[in-house]
Amino acid sequence: MIEKLDLSRCPGITDNAMVAIAENCLHLSDLTIDSCSGIGNEGLRAIARRCTNLRSISIRSCPRIGDQGVAFLLAQAGSYLTKVKLQMLNITGLSLAVLGHYGAAVTDLVLHGLQGVNEKGFWVMANAKGMKKLKSLSVMSCRGMTDVGLEAVGNGCPDLKHVSLNKCLLVSGKGLVALAKSALSLESLKLEECHRINQFGFLGFLTNCGSKLKAFSLANCMGIQDLNPESPLQLTGCSSIRSLSIRCCPGFGDASLAFLGKFCHQLQDVELSGLNGVTDAGVLELLQSNNVGLVKVNLSGCINVSDNTVSAISMCHGRFMESLNLDGCKNITDASLVAVAKNCYSVSDLDISNTLVSDHGIKALASSPNHLNLQVLSVGGCSAITDKSKACIQKLGRTLLGLNIQRCGRISSSTVDNLLEHLWRCDILY
């Protein structure tokens, strides 16, 4: 009794096989069809007619599947399908229009690489107002996703909680603000490689979003520039955001962090990685008004952040901190580890790879009065850590489950062998 079936890279499977599957797998609930050049519209129609228990469908890179098959499936099964994933298919706005009209049960929707779907397709899908239960939407490399379509999605899907936009090159800040004002149930937004979005767009979104927004992520968006201190943006209240992630946006800097710090007072998870324009001043502006304890902080690749930031964070949030990532922060020294050892009672995951820390810093961790319960320690690429740290690493190893000492050129092979022998419960990368 097959309930879940994954057909990936099976060019020999044809519509005849799909008809047989449909006739004999009446309990099928989860179907994936990926890169199957022999399957076409007729095979999909057979599934739609017979597999009435189907709840999840994923179709990717099948050149013989088009609107006739997809639209028929969605019209037939939209009332009970909950998860739909359509990727790199030769379909148009017709399929999305049918989905918008009949997809009453759909809660999770993924649309990737649909080059044949234009702006009207997304607009019609949302304005059909049939997807009242949609909670999660992910759109990638779809040129039809524009500001107009994004606003329509916000208005047409009242229960929408999670939105992810990747390589949607025609979405700008105008669309984000419209989404913020219409999608009142939105809890998270992820933006990646959306280059028309600038600093006013994403900050405008944050200042207009509803009180339910908990997570915001921005990555590789080249349109972002740092704010002018005299920016006309006005604050409208205190943000409810718990998780903030800004990654690899070259124009992002201290002024934008200072603005965020004025209304993001409940952050628990902060990721600021690969931001060369961010310094101690910006990070401290963001975090100094935080009313709750930071649990996870990732500053990897922020080359202008120094020990001052780590010291301040550890003093204010050390008792809550569970994870701290400083990988590639070139100005981090042993002083940061002294601060962590003194103030961070709960830290279990510490990454200080590619920094200036030395044996003295490792000794500070091992001799911490708080008896650190480290589970993962990464010191890869730290050339100042030598064989002298062996005893301290062994002491820390009592609780370690993972240790990274790759590219530590002054740790000898004999020390590595010794650690492998004594820390047998620990997964060691060397």
- Looking at residue 235, its pLDDT comes to 60
Distance CA 241, CA 211 (A): 9
Convert 251-266 into a string of H (helix), E (strand) and C (coil): CCEHHHHHHHHCCECC
pLDDT for the residue numbered 237:
57
Tell me if 309 sits within 8 A of 284, measured CB to CB.
Answer: yes
Determine the pLDDT at residue 232.
Answer: 61
Query: Distance between CA 331 and CA 355 in Å, rounded?
Result: 7
Q: Output the pLDDT for position 231.
A: 64
If the chain, 430 residues long, is cut into consecutive pieces of 10 residues, what is the mean pLDDT of each piece?
A: 95 97 96 98 97 98 98 96 98 98 98 98 96 98 97 96 98 96 96 96 89 96 85 66 97 93 92 97 92 95 98 95 98 98 96 98 94 95 98 96 98 97 96
Q: How far apart are CA 212 and CA 206, in angstroms?
A: 11
pLDDT at position 233: 62
Query: What is the reported pLDDT for 234?
Result: 63
Q: Is 56 exposed, middle or buried (0-12, 13-18, 19+ CB in 10 A)?
A: middle
State the Cα angle at 261 between 259 and 267, rounded to 5°.
Answer: 140
Q: Which domains does the chain have, with CATH numbers?
A: 293-430 (3.80.10.10)
DSSP symbols for 213-224: --EEEEES-TT-
Give the dihedral of Cα atoms 25, 26, 32, 35; nearest 10 deg: 60
Token pair 């007729």: residue: 42
pLDDT at 295: 98
CB of 359 closer than 8 Å to CB of 382: no
Amino acid at 236: T
Query: What's the pLDDT score for residue 228?
Result: 78
Q: What's the first-to-final CA gap in the chain, in angstroms?
A: 47
Handedness of CA 42, 48, 49, 53 (dihedral sign): positive
Cβ proximity of 336 and 364 under 8 Å: no
Q: What angle do CA 388, 393, 397 make, to 5 degrees?
A: 160
- pLDDT of 169: 96
pTM of the model: 0.93
